[in-house]
Each structure stands twice: as C-alpha cells, then as structure tokens.
Amino acid sequence: MKKLHRNERISVLLKILTDAPGNVFTFSTFTEMFGSAKSTISEDIDILKDIVAKFDLGSIETIPGAAGGVRYVPSISDEQAASILRNLSVELSRKERILPGGFLFMLDIIYSPVEMDKIGRIFASHFFPLAIDYVITVETKGIPLAYATARYLNVPLVIVRHYNEAADGASVNINYVSGSSKRIQTMVLSIRALKRKSRLLFIDDFMKGGGTARGIIDLAKEFECEVPGIGILVETEKPEKKLVDDYLSLLVLKNVEEEADAVNVGLSPKIMEKWNIKP
C-alpha cells in the first residue's frame, strides 16, 4: 500500500472505529495496515480523540495492557440530546397527528432513518456501559429504532414474533398479558436466536401499561438471559404504574384530546434529569 499522509490515516481510522462501536482494535492492527510505527499511530489516535470530542461525535478510548488497544464509544452531549428531544416533542404534539379514536400518528417518525439514527444514538449512549449482548424488540414498529440502537452498540438485533414461522425452526412460546387491554397475547422466539446467559436490551417505540416489556423479561428467563435495560421512545402518562419499574423513556404522551384538537407530548422526567434538560 502507498504510504498515507496523516490526514488520510486519521480519516481511515475514524471510519474503521465508528463502524464498529465498542470493538477493541490493537495498535498492531493499524501499524500493519498503514506500515507505520506504533508511536505514529499513537499520535494519530491522540489527534482523532480531540477531533471526535470537539465535534461531539462520541469518544475514542485507549485501553492499556497486552490485551488493550483503542475503541470508539458512542455518546451524545446534553445539549444535543435536549435539542433532538425538544424538536421531536414539538413535532409529535402537532394537532395534525391526532387519529380517530384518540391515537397518535408516529409512523413517519418511526420509519425515518435520520430520526431513528438520532434516537438510537441517545439510547446507545445511555445503555453502552451495561455491556449488552443483544438488542431485542417485538415486531413490527419497534424494529427501526431497535436496529439503530443495535447498530450503535454493535450487537445483533433479535426480533420477537407473535406467531411461528417455519424458517425459525424450534421456538419458545409464552403468553403474556397486555398492560393496557389486559388481553392475553403470545410471544414467539426461535431457540437459536439467543445464546444462553446473555444480557438483553429491550427497545420499543411505545409503552402504555408495560405488558410487552414484562413479557420480554419473562421470555428472556426461558433462555436463561437477563434484561438489564429497557428503552422506550414514547410512554403514556397513564396508567402511572407500569408492569415494569426500571426503564428509560424519552418522551411522555400526556394526553390526546380528539374533540379539542389538541395533543401534548413532553420530555420524560427521567431523561430531563439525566441530561440536565431544563423545562
């Protein structure tokens, strides 16, 4: 390979590291790739650290020791998180989003790659320290957000179905009670989808009573897995008591008044406290 200039090496380093968040690359990987001395690569990494920090692109960490190296950690500043969530709350509070029956139209947001990438980064920033093995969600509307989060965490995405498919092979089926309608529903997951003793992050677009999240926790137990993290884009203000306690919601749907043509979506108190977001 032709010898690269420093700015070229830094560009390649940034691409490699951000394409594999959390993955530790040894310095020898880059010395061999670029044909450069370790001291040169170390200087490149130091410059890259400053660039990433300056433009709030996450952080670059160096890990000492024989098994050490360098990795990219996704993160977001308080200011960026506040701006993203404020803009989203305003957009979702538009009266044009009210649907018959008092429902809220969110599909354009959920299926927007740009919007889901922003929210996925917020969730990844919060849940990265939990050493997640899989992101898990339930078909279908939670898939784009769960995928974006899994991409930033650099872990596989697992999708739970409501019915069996022949291509899934042998599956585990459980029944769970919807937290809002109190109806019994079914969750299905292939026994090959998860490795035993894994740590799961449940991501979903909407929570009312928390029945789906509770069902995921129960399903995880069938695989001897745990769910240390639950991330929800929008939760309803009522019922106040959910079927799960330990979760992070970003937005709260306070009310939808179809007759008054009004909807109110605000920032979650938990997220306002975490990122020091002012009302």
pLDDT digits (tens, 9 = 90+) for 128-181: 999 999 999 999 899 999 999 999 999 999 999 998 888 888 999 999 987 666
> Can you give the length of the chain in residues?
279
**Residue 76: what residue type?**
I
Over 90: is that where the pLDDT of 275 sits? Answer: no
Q: Write the CA distances from 240 to 20, 83, 210, 223, integer angstroms.
A: 38, 26, 10, 30
Are 225 and 91 part of one and the same domain? yes
Are 239 and 137 part of one and the same domain? yes
pLDDT of residue 259: 77
- State in Å, rounded, how far the first CA of the chain is from the last one: 54
Whether residue 216 lies inside any domain: the answer is yes
- Residue ending a domain, among 26, 47, 73, is 73
Work out the pLDDT band at 270, boundaries 50, 70, 90.
confident
pLDDT of residue 279: 67
pLDDT of residue 178: 79
Over 80: is that where the pLDDT of 269 sits? Answer: yes
Whether residue 116 lies inside any domain: the answer is yes
Q: What is the C-alpha separation between 89 and 152, in angstroms, rounded? A: 23
- Residue ending a domain, among 28, 46, 73, is 73
Q: Number of C-alpha atoms within 13 angstroms, CB side, residue 109? A: 21
Instruction: Give me the sign of the Cα torsion angle 243, 131, 12, 79.
Output: positive
Are 27 and 129 part of one and the same domain? no
Over 90: is that where the pLDDT of 189 sits? Answer: yes
Q: What is the CATH number of the domain that holds 61?
A: 1.10.10.10
What φ, ψ does residue 34 adopt, rounded to 5°? -100, -10
What residue has token string 């490149």? Answer: 44
Are 69 and 110 part of one and the same domain? no
Are 139 and 234 part of one and the same domain? yes
Total domains in the chain come to: 2
Whether residue 137 lies inside any domain: the answer is yes
Whether residue 153 lies inside any domain: the answer is yes
Whether residue 31 lies inside any domain: the answer is yes
Whether residue 279 lies inside any domain: the answer is no
Work out the pLDDT band at 10, boundaries 50, 70, 90.
very high
Query: Which range of residues forms the domain containing residue 107?
Result: 78-274
Over 90: is that where the pLDDT of 35 sits? Answer: yes
Work out the pLDDT band at 273, boundaries 50, 70, 90.
confident
Are 178 and 264 part of one and the same domain? yes
Express each pLDDT in 197-239 by its tens digit: 999 999 999 999 999 999 999 999 999 999 999 999 999 999 9
Angle at 99 between CA 254 and CA 244, to 5 degrees: 40
Are 41 and 155 part of one and the same domain? no
- Residue ending a domain, among 32, 52, 73, is 73
Over 70: is that where the pLDDT of 1 sits? Answer: no
Of the two residues 273 and 26, the one the predictor is more confident about is 26
Whether residue 91 lies inside any domain: the answer is yes
Averaged pLDDT score across all residues of the chain: 93
Q: What is the C-alpha separation between 230 and 268, in angstroms, rounded? A: 14
Are 116 and 83 part of one and the same domain? yes
pLDDT of residue 48: 97
Are 153 and 33 part of one and the same domain? no
Burial label, 43 (beta-carbon count in 10 A; 0-12, 13-18, 19+) = middle
Give the residue-averaged pLDDT of 57-85: 91
**Residue 146: what residue type?**
A
Express each pLDDT in 86-140 by its tens digit: 999 999 999 999 999 888 999 999 999 999 999 999 999 999 999 999 999 999 8
Q: What is the CATH number of the domain that holds 96?
A: 3.40.50.2020
Whether residue 1 lies inside any domain: the answer is no
pLDDT of residue 47: 97
Are 47 and 135 part of one and the same domain? no
